[in-house]
Structure 1
Amino acid sequence: MRIVIVDDHPLVRKGLASVLTLNESMEVLGEATNSREAMDLFCSSKPDLALVDLRLGNESGLDLITNARKQGITCKFVVLTSSTEEEDFIRAKEIGVDGYVLKEAFPEELIHALRIIGKGRKYYDPGVLDLVMRSGDSIDEDKHIEQLTPKEKEVLIELGKGHSNKDISLALYITEYTVKKHVSQILAKLGLTDRTQAALYANAKGLVTYTVHS
């Protein structure tokens, strides 16, 4: 995966580059500090994915992403931020970012997120789980994970890893039809509306562990 980093803080850029270069499947093509540099970098390097700071000094990373897409940039965009403001997350979802990751995330969580996004799925940091719930249907506080059967819990963990029904069926040795039934039961029992909420729930509850492979 070919990646560029857009952040106005040198230490953050270098730290991200160091984490990403530890993985053979990821290559950092370049760095940018503002929107103008970023647009030049997008056009010259044609990355697969761009990590973009939510706030680039006095500029908006979300505005940058919006403008880049208008100009035909087709790479995936992942927002990096220390903000847990609801309006920031909601706007990021509205413009269709591929990922939203808090800067407090562990390196292995970032790598996990980028791998999920690289497979064509979206990833929202578990730290913004409450925001997702508030922007959609709220979770019923009386519905707990203890209501799940052991197999449903296994499926929930796989959802938390961003796996598709096919991936889950292979991992758990069950049919895709059975996976779909389990997913439906999980959503109903936990009061969740979709797979994204289920994945976030699994991470927020600490069910998913991360392992970094070089």
Structure 2
Amino acid sequence: MDIVIVDDHPLVRRGLASVISMQPDVNFAGEATNGEEAMRVLEEIRPDLVLIDLRLADESGLDVIKMARSRGIDSKFILLTSSASREDFLKAEEVLVDGYVLKEALPEELLFAIQLVYKGRKYYDPGLMEDKMRMSGKSPTDELTPKEREVLIELGQGACNREIASRLFISEFTVKKHVSQILAKLQVADRTQAALYANAVGLTKYEMSVD
């Protein structure tokens, strides 16, 4: 997996390069400090994935992403930012970024996001996902039934449907129905994001893995 880093702070670029180099299947393929440099690097390397800062001096990382896509660059983009504002998050969704990670994230969280996005899934920082869901004024977990909440906790612990069925003394078919309802109520795409949510709001702690 070839990754390019776009950030106007040298120390940030070096730190990110160090983090991604922890993975044997990840190659730090290039870097850029602004939109113009980014276009040159992306057109030359055509990386699998780009880690890009939301704010690049006087530029927006979102504008760089839009420009890259208009030029036929089909790399996946993970937006890195210290901003957790609703406005920035909504703008990122409009541009259809593949991932949105806060700079305060732990290295293992960033690596998990990279692997998830590379496999074709979306990744939103769990804290941001919780803020997004609280826009209605209450927690999405309030909508869950007691049994759905139990299933969500099991998801957060990484249990498969068979394990959940055994632990909660219900059928696998019933587990699947509960999982479907949980995804709908939490407004998440898959059980991995549901597990992330469970961890973000303190329902459980678990070891993250990507199948």
Where on the TM-score scale, by shorter chain, does this alignment land: which range?
0.7 to 0.9
Cα pair distance change 1:179/1:96, threshold 3 Å: farther
- Aligned-residue Cα RMSD (Å) equals 3.1
Question: For structure 1, which runs of at least 5 residues remain unmatched after alignment?
Answer: 160-167
TM value normalised by structure 2: 0.81
Residue aligning to 2:126: 126
Amino acid at match of 1:104: E
Question: For structure 2, which runs of at least 5 residues remain unmatched after alignment?
Answer: none
Residue aligning to 2:189: 195
Contact 1:156 1:183 in 2 (8 A): no
CA distance in 2, matches of 1:5, 1:149: 39
The count of corresponding residues between Structure 1 and Structure 2 is 202
- Residues 40-93 of structure 1 show CA distances to partners (whole Å, capped at 9, x for unaligned) of 111111100000000000000000001110110101000000011111010101
Aligned 1:83-94 pairs, distance under 5 A: 83-94=83-94
Mean Cα displacement is larger for which, 104-113 or 129-138? 129-138
Deviation at 1:173, TM superposition (A): 8.7
TM value normalised by structure 1: 0.80
CA distance in 1, matches of 2:99, 2:9: 20
Deviation at 1:177, TM superposition (A): 5.3
- Is 1:96 the counterpart of 2:90? The answer is no
Cα pair distance change 1:209/1:158, threshold 3 Å: closer
CA distance in 2, matches of 1:104, 1:78: 15
Cα pair distance change 1:3/1:187, threshold 3 Å: closer
Percent of aligned pairs with the same amino acid: 51
Amino acid at match of 2:90: I
Cα pair distance change 1:38/1:178, threshold 3 Å: farther
- Residues 123-177 of structure 1 show CA distances to partners (whole Å, capped at 9, x for unaligned) of 0001212432156795357457965465442234449xxxxxxxx4588699985
- Is 1:60 the counterpart of 2:56? The answer is no
